[in-house]
Amino acid sequence: MPSPRFRAMFKRPSLESFRRRLASVDALPQLCVLGVLSGVLTGGLMVGFRGLLELGALAFMPGGDPEAFERLAGPVRVVLPLMAVGLIGVWLWRMPNGAGKIGIGHVIERLTYHQGKMPLRNWMTQWWVGLVALLGGLSAGREGPAIHLGAAASSWIGQTMRLPHNSLRVLVGCGTAAGIAASFNTPIAGVIFAMEVVMMEYTITGFMPVILASTTGAVVSQLVYGSQPAFSVPSVQLASLFDLPWIAVTALLIGLVAGAFVRLAKPATWQTRWPVWGRFLAVGLAVGAVAWWYPQVQGMGYDSLERMLVGEPALDVLIVVALGKLALTALAIAFGVPVSIIGPILVAGAAFGTLCGLLWATLLPGLASSPVVFSLLGMAAMMGAVLQAPLAALMALLELTHNSSILLPGMLAVVIAVLVSRQGYHCSGFFISTLDSQGLHPLQRPLMQALSRVAVPAVMERSVARAPRILTRAQAQELLAGKPTWLVITREDGKPPVGLKAAGLARLMLDEQWQDETRFDLLEIPGQRVDMAPIALQATLSEAFEQLNKQGVDVLYVEHTTAPLIRKISGIITRDAIENYYRYK
């Protein structure tokens, strides 16, 4: 017969043990399993989103191409954005306050203030707004919807399984990375974007599941759409090192434009005085007016980007795409139309880089690199400067070009653009700036960031016993036979329980002066008692720390729901336990 220890090693793991393992900071195998699940789900959602986009395009777009705005008649191009803002406005008007927040900024907000819990209403809004904005010809991208849909669906996995909140944070990062990977077919850039822009931290525990999620999401997308990236990029290289000074100048200009874009996208006081319908109408009219002559500003713009990379588009088109697409996107954000910005800033950055490349070729004919080189560098520089995410921009550049030689000038361009926008405009990144303007501060303190990686079950004292206020000697002896460390005294007046060190009751039972006592009032006997406040079993240590400070206590009792309206106390967590964990672990 196998020994009990041998049987325990191969015992089928339960969901409860899975949750308990996830509560600690080193639950890497369990998080990797969740990363794969997140990648499969997010990849499938992105295939579905793109399928709905193509299905909608079949109704009115030439050839069923959702990017074929140039082939539409002028009046149709003008009417489409007006219809889009109308449909979006009606949807948001029917939604309660807060349900209209979508996109990457919403994901960061929920991760910072709500431990990664994503509301269903906002998720449904993202489907509607994402599809209508793209099909309606607004200047928007599909990356914001991809990240929101993936992050929320991944968080749903954790919420459905009632996993600790520290694992919800990792799941949100997994959904973000898988969304970028499935949208661009750039799994490495997806990982870096998730860690640099959304999670804002680099840990091995976070990296591994995020890498698996990004890889899985890309594989699911490739099974349907192939292994090609979102747009075709020709093979290019730097002609000579003489290009580097002009690359620096180009990056400086892009940094200035990127900072202006972030500032323009912030709602101003005069804008908020407009009625909502007036702001939405202004956005629709602005897009329609420009699209009458230049439809290249509509939609994602990846078709325009491909033309920049394989040919020589007209100079006026480049100028309008470089400045007009940025202005229209910033106007939409500032006026409350929730569109995604990543696609537009990539296209506008490429157009700006192409303009600089053409000018350099005119100044230095025969020696300058191809304008396509500057297109790619402009794309990466604009992304890095607007998002303040240099590593994500460089990884996107590398994966889109499959050319490591482009990284040398790419690093120069990205660093200069990021520095100029950061120092010239005090830009801390588009999404952080947007949340700051709403009075939210997504950058966590190092202490709270470290505590958010661990859940309460990893630290709590499990040796507890519930006790009524009044006990007989026999009941007290039976209670102490379980050798609890703490007694949680429940009160009939509805007030929170009180904690009592079990050692106090044990000493009292042995004291000769109390030998004749047959009943004990646990709120009156000598002993170390503490006021307590509740904390959920799924909570992180950062939530517990905030609850301790909010309630003004030093001990929390940990509870979870075992059945409807039935809550069980699972343990005790003290301020000292949290501080010791942070100090020594």
Tell the CATH superfamily of the 15-230 domain. Answer: Clc chloride channel (1.10.3080.10)
DSSP string, 220-286: HHHHHH-S--SS-------S-TTHHHHHHHHHHHHHHHHHHHHHHTSPPHHHHTS-HHHHHHHHHHH
Lookup: tokens for 543: 């939530």
Contact by Cβ (8 Å): 341, 363: no
Give the number of C-alpha atoms closer than 13 A to the C-alpha of residue 461, restricted to the C-beta side.
22
Spatial separation of the C-alpha atoms in residues 370 and 376, rounded to whole Å: 11
Alpha-carbon torsion (263, 269, 272, 278), positive or negative: negative
- Contacts of 231 by beta carbon, 8 Å cutoff, 6+ apart: 302, 305, 306, 309, 400
Residue carrying structure tokens 């039935």: 566
Contact by Cβ (8 Å): 451, 540: yes
- The CATH T-level fold of domain 457-584 is CBS-domain (3.10.580)
Q: Please give the pLDDT value at position 585.
A: 60
- Contacts of 9 by beta carbon, 8 Å cutoff, 6+ apart: none
Q: What is the dihedral of CA 539, 543, 549, 550, to 10 degrees?
A: -80
Please tell me the total number of residues recorded for the chain in this structure.
585
Provide the residue ranges of all domains of the chain, joining segments of one domain with +: 15-230, 243-437, 457-584
Instruction: Tell me which DSSP letter residue 299 carries.
Output: B
Residues of the chain with pLDDT under 70: 1-13, 269-270, 443-445, 494, 562-566, 584-585
Spatial separation of the C-alpha atoms in residues 182 and 313, rounded to whole Å: 29
Spatial separation of the C-alpha atoms in residues 256 and 424, rounded to whole Å: 7
User: Nearest 5°: phi and psi at 268?
Assistant: -95, 165
Radius of gyration of the chain (CA): 29
Q: Please give the pLDDT value at position 6.
A: 45
Q: Please give the pLDDT value at position 157.
A: 96
Spatial separation of the C-alpha atoms in residues 552 and 500, rounded to whole Å: 18
Spatial separation of the C-alpha atoms in residues 107 and 142, rounded to whole Å: 15
Q: How many CB atoms lie within 10 A of CB 376?
A: 28
- The CATH T-level fold of domain 243-437 is Clc chloride channel (1.10.3080)
Q: Please give the pLDDT value at position 184.
A: 85
Same fold flag, 243-437 and 457-584: no
Query: How far is CA 230 from each of CA 142, 143, 303, 382, 469, rounded to the nearest angstrom?
Result: 11, 11, 10, 18, 67
Spatial separation of the C-alpha atoms in residues 95 and 521, rounded to whole Å: 53
First to last CA, the chain: 40
Spatial separation of the C-alpha atoms in residues 419 and 256, rounded to whole Å: 10
Instruction: Tell me which DSSP letter residue 13 carries.
Output: P
Spatial separation of the C-alpha atoms in residues 289 and 77, rounded to whole Å: 9
345 three-state secondary structure? helix
410 three-state secondary structure? helix
